[in-house]
Amino acid sequence: MNGEEQMYEQALQKTNDHDDKIMSDPNETQELRILIDNNQVGGIIGKAGANVTRVREQAGIFLSILKAETSVTERVMVLKGQYEQLVKGIHMIAELLIEADAKIKKEPTVNLTDGQTKLRLLVHRHAVGAVIGKAGAVIKETQQETSARVQVSNEPLPQSTEKTVTISGTPLAIHQATMRVLSQLRENPLRPGTKSYPYVPGVAAFPGVLGSPFGAPGYPQQFPGSFGLPQQPHLPSAYGDFGMGAAAPQATNTQKIAIPTICAGCVIGKGGTVIRDLRTQSGTNISIADADATNPNERVVTLTGSPQGIQMAIYLIRQLVEQYQPPANYQ
């Protein structure tokens, strides 16, 4: 075992010891949402998906980047896995970000041990207090013991209840600090019934509806619909009255997004029930192509309809993908 591996193992053990009191079930799946820049996506995915496949296989985590072909500058990356799997995955992703940054800057060598990068975690605005602690005690301790820098945004991201918790440092420091953040969030869960509006880059509030992102007052993150989809209230006339009378004329656009192949089944549903529900609720035509041989880990979803309907469909599909739970034996 080389010096870097020894440092990693020692840090992992220290982090595990710190969190033993709250990790009642080490096999429980956790979810982590990370905001990444567009120019970082390629470095994480790699040529023909090689990097993301390696992270999934070696760390044993589920990793998803829902890619929308729009002018957005950011993407949301979702990680799901057991505690130690997430530790390894975060470390690997931090290294990939350092490598990608070095390529952008055309640097001849890459120092993965001492190289610096940052991760922007997405955390509910009512939960960041646990990350900061009374008078900043928790965040100060985290920075002192991990050598990472931790910053919490002042305001939630647009049309969401999520703030960014930015962790900067070496890959080792980042994964130590991230695990401490997750520990605080787990030890201090949100109160039952707390509304959550996840941040979706590029998706603005629907016109004509105020006080709630994505156009529906009280739009929940966990959907009560029969197929995991929300039961939509009556939407403004700009969206048409799907099945309830004539819709206002809308320009027809076509947009494509990519979803992980492993999640396609949850978007289609048994006998196509979910995708039919998606079409009805968004008023768009949705088709999912077979995986390409050159990129078997992703399938392209084509959406055709009004701009607003496409935005709604993307949001609903994103929620299905992010709520997907990989099988217990998923590797």
Q: Residue 262 sits in a domain of what CATH number?
A: 3.30.1370.10
pLDDT at residue 232 greater than cutoff 80: no
Write down the pLDDT at residue 101.
Answer: 86
Q: How confident is the model at residue 17 (pLDDT cuts 50, 70, 90)?
A: very low
Residue 286's φ and ψ, nearest 5 degrees, are -125, 125
The domain that contains 39 carries what CATH number?
A: 3.30.310.210
Q: What is the pLDDT of residues 29-38, one digit of tens each?
A: 778 899 999 8
Q: What is the pLDDT of residues 165-198, one digit of tens each?
A: 999 999 999 989 988 998 888 888 888 888 888 8
Cα–Cα dist 319/331, whole Å: 22
Answer yes or no: do 31 and 126 share one domain.
yes
Answer yes or no: do 44 and 152 share one domain.
yes
Q: Is 42 among the domain residues?
A: yes
Tally of structural domains, the chain: 2
Answer yes or no: do 165 and 266 share one domain.
no
Torsion angle in degrees (nearest 10) through CA of 237, 308, 161, 189? 100
pTM of the model: 0.61
Write down the pLDDT at residue 66.
Answer: 66
Write down the pLDDT at residue 30.
Answer: 79
Cα–Cα dist 44/41, whole Å: 5
Average pLDDT over residues 265-271: 90
Q: Is 238 among the domain residues?
A: no
Weakest mean pLDDT among 3-17, 96-110, 111-125, 290-304: 3-17
Q: Which domain does 53 fall in, by range? A: 3-187
